[in-house]
Amino acid sequence: MFQGRRFEYWLRLSPWSAQALMVALAGLAIAVALRAVLADFGLPLYFSTFFPIILAISLIAGVPAGVFTALSAIFIVWWAFIPPVFEFSPLNHDDIDRFQLFLLAVSVLIWFSHLCRMILRMRKQRPA
């Protein structure tokens, strides 16, 4: 049913490599572009596009890339999408709560992806 060979591409990137950083930057650019499209439609879903991107980046490039993307997402959303836009203004309690819930949710996503990568690595090392 589960074939380890098919999923070995998740383990090709070393978590601290330049390629992993490039994957994180590309995913971040995609998430920001999709978030800008949602902003043009007037949808105030600040972090909606970042969740799937962070999960994918964490699975493909590892925990450091996922953490980098999550922290970058906070500053990008704060600067570009929370009114007044394109400036770092003081956050109100609702925005702080959004940031905290986002960090909690992506922490679970990144931890889950780390566990998936560990399981795949263990399956790869186990003799057939």
pLDDT at 1: 44
> How many domains does the structure of the chain reveal?
1
| Alpha-carbon distance values, 58 to 8, 49, 69, 85, 119 (Å) | 15, 15, 9, 28, 14
Q: What is the pLDDT of residues 31-66, one digit of tens each?
A: 999 999 999 998 888 999 999 999 999 999 999 999
- Give the predicted TM-score (pTM) of the model: 0.88
Residue 38: domain span: 4-125
- What does the DSSP 8-state code read for residue 56? H
**What's at 41, amino acid-wise?**
F
